[in-house]
Amino acid sequence: MQWRSLLLGLLLLRLGLQALLALLPALAPGLCLRRRPPFPFPFPPRAPAPGRALWVPAALPGGGEGAAGGGEDEYEARYGRAFPPQLRARLRDAARRMFAFGYDSYMRHAFPSDELDPLHCCGRGPDRDDPTNLNINDVLGNYSLTLIDALDTLAVMGNSSEFQKAVKLVIDTVSFDKDSTVQVFEATIRVLGSLLSAHIIITDTKQPFGDMTIKDYDNELLHMAHDLAVRLLPAFENTKTGIPYPRVNLKRGVPPDSNNETCTAGAGSLLVEFGILSRLLGDSTFEWVARRAVKALWSLRSNNTGLLGNVVNIQTGHWVGKQSGLGAGSDSFYEYLLKSYILFGEQEDLEMFNDAYRNIQNHLRRG
């Protein structure tokens, strides 16, 4: 029968692909990804949730322990049966192996470049030959991005020796005095955020991940974060709305041919990192410019729906992209409103989040 032939063909195709994968190390010994992290476990069937719990954001930061009735944690009640302790331990160990595989491959084949090009088994940085290659140049700034990005993860994984080694490498080898034009959003969330996280982990008296202290540490990561943030500040200048330019050159400021259009998430998801930096330094400048951008975007929301578009002109305040949603270009704007309230306790952040939450619930299109 036809379906049997189709099934047999699919089976032969799968066997052929498996054979090809098995031969890859011999056929292409230069490939970095010739090993795969082991997955010695099957994923369990999803357990049905005992009920759809509606989360009320206003009750989160000060309204109790977040537990369901009877003292049981809400998320434990909803997901505990699907992820019993034994499975969690196996998933945790698998995640550690996966991280170690990626991190070790970067350090072996790519450092001090920004990231690992897995196909060519070498490091990759900004595309100097093609400044319009924003997919690469927005993210890669020639400052060992992956190493910085991995600092707090090394600590969370409990690898104190590698964390301490990586911190010293960052301090000794990384400089932001680069002729690199980077996206303000990417540099903030990946580099500034990682430096601040690692600094807080090192100086935390409770040391929740094990002993991550570093002998003779003198706030170097905080100073580096400050240096980077100062280099990002020109993006907030000469903009009529207070919404920042999307890109900045780390040496020369905003490029003369800079685009006046930016996405809502890119301009409105800076408050967590800039706010933490301000509070650690005792300098309100950074939090002020980030908060001004959030308020400027919020003031542009629709009078009819209360929703924001996804691309805005930073000089005119007109929406270039008028589509609202929770996807790329908008998502983290809403995420940062809640996170900022949890971190800083500013009531206006929670009010904006709750207002946005209600409007999204009212107008969300379900297909």
Q: List b or e across 20-51, with b for residues whose CB sees 16 or more CB atoms inside 10 angstroms.
A: eeeeeeeeeeeebeeeeeeeeeeeeeeeeeee
Q: Is 366 helix (H, G, I), strand (E, B) or coil?
A: coil
pTM, two decimal places: 0.80
- Give the chain's end-to-end CA distance (angstroms, integer): 37
Does 154 reside within a domain?
yes
Which CATH number fits the domain that encloses residue 194? 1.50.10.10
Does 342 reside within a domain?
yes
Shortest CA distance to 127 belongs to which of 116, 138, 118, 119? Answer: 138
Does 14 reside within a domain?
no
Residues with Cβ within 8 Å of residue 248, at least 6 apart in sequence? 181, 182, 184, 231, 232, 234, 235, 254, 255
Q: Is 60 helix (H, G, I), strand (E, B) or coil?
A: coil
The number of folded domains in the chain is: 1
Does 196 reside within a domain?
yes
The CA–CA distances, whole Å, from 75 to 66, 82, 86, 353 equal 9, 11, 17, 22
Does 17 reside within a domain?
no
Length of the chain: 367
Give me the tens of pLDDT residue by residue for the chain, a chain 367 residues long. Answer: 565 665 556 656 666 666 555 555 454 555 454 444 443 334 334 343 343 333 333 343 334 444 444 556 787 788 777 888 899 999 999 999 999 999 999 999 999 999 999 999 999 999 999 989 999 989 999 999 999 999 999 999 999 999 999 999 999 999 999 999 999 999 999 999 999 999 999 999 999 999 999 999 999 999 999 999 999 999 999 999 999 999 999 999 999 989 999 999 999 999 999 999 999 999 999 999 999 999 999 999 999 999 999 999 999 999 999 888 888 899 999 999 999 999 999 999 999 999 999 999 998 776 5
By the 8 A CB rule, do 126 and 180 touch? yes
User: Cα angle vertex 287, ends 281, 288, to 5°?
Assistant: 120
Does 4 reside within a domain?
no
User: Range of 212's domain?
Assistant: 98-363
Does 207 reside within a domain?
yes
